[in-house]
């Protein structure tokens, strides 16, 4: 995987978010793209054994026609795993609600619609306003993109053949010894 992307993350860009209680960058903006270091101890990543679970699910959702960040690249070395997405144009849901409480019903309705759409493709996750970027045009909510895929669960609607294809296409390496048996069975 591309060492240049790792080096760029370590030395360039504007830090947007740090790992909890540290000075270690988690998210940076570099050249208009979002670089995100993967928290490997988050429940979904550690339970699945798939380091690139978050970008994997973003790609999967996009292939299923849902709004999702566009993943541009993944990279990993001995110290860090990260992925890069295009910048999402819009306004964070929590910030939008704070600036205009009149949007509350629309924001919550859009979040609930997204939650249902994602469940229909096998991804069960909360759609918290803080984890959604809303597009607003002429004072109207016209869409939203979820941004945080670290804590998810699955239901029986997950298309595991599509997941296997994405893992293969993106060369998402994983060690089967770290992947739980239930995930290995789905990936066979």
42-75 residue pLDDT tens: 656 666 677 888 999 999 999 999 999 999 999 9
- Gap between the Cα atoms of 94 and 80, Å rounded: 29
Angle of CA points 123, 129, 134, to nearest 5°: 95
Sequence ranges of the chain with CATH classification 3.30.200: 3-87+159-175
Strand order in the sheet with 140-146: 91-92, 132-137, 140-146
Contacts of 187 (CB under 8 A, 6+ apart): 160, 163, 164, 167, 179
pTM to 2 decimal places = 0.90
**Mean pLDDT on 3-27:** 90
Fold observed for domain 3-87+159-175: Phosphorylase Kinase; domain 1 (3.30.200)
78-112 residue pLDDT tens: 888 899 999 999 999 999 999 999 999 999 999 99
What's the N-to-C CA distance of the chain in angstroms?
24
CB atoms within 10 A of CB 2: 13
- Gap between the Cα atoms of 179 and 44, Å rounded: 12
Q: What are phi and psi of 143, to 5 degrees?
A: 170, 175
Instruction: Kindly write down the DSSP assignment for every residue of 108-173, as one continuous string.
Output: HHHHHHHHHHHHTTTEE----GGGEEEEEETTEEEEEEE---SS-EE-TT--HHHHHHHHHHTT--
């Amino acid at each position: 995987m591309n060492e240049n992307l790792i080096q760029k993350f370590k030395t360039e860009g504007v830090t947007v978010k740090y790992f909890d209680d540290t000075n270690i960058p988690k998210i940076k903006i570099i050249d208009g793209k979002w670089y995100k270091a993967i928290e490997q101890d988050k429940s979904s990543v550690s339970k699945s054994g798939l380091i690139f679970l978050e970008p994997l699910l973003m790609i999967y959702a996009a292939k299923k026609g849902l709004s999702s960040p566009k993943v541009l690249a993944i990279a990993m070395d001995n110290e860090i795993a990260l992925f890069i997405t295009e910048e999402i144009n819009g306004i964070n849901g929590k910030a939008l609600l704070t600036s205009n409480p009149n949007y509350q019903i629309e924001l919550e309705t859009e979040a609930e619609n997204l939650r249902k759409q994602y469940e229909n493709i096998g991804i069960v996750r909360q759609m918290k306003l803080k984890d959604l970027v809303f597009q607003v045009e002429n004072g109207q909510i016209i869409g939203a993109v979820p941004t945080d895929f670290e804590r998810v669960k699955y239901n029986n609607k997950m298309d595991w053949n599509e997941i296997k294809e994405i893992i293969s296409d993106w060369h998402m390496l994983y060690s089967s010894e770290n992947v739980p048996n239930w995930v290995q069975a789905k990936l066979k």
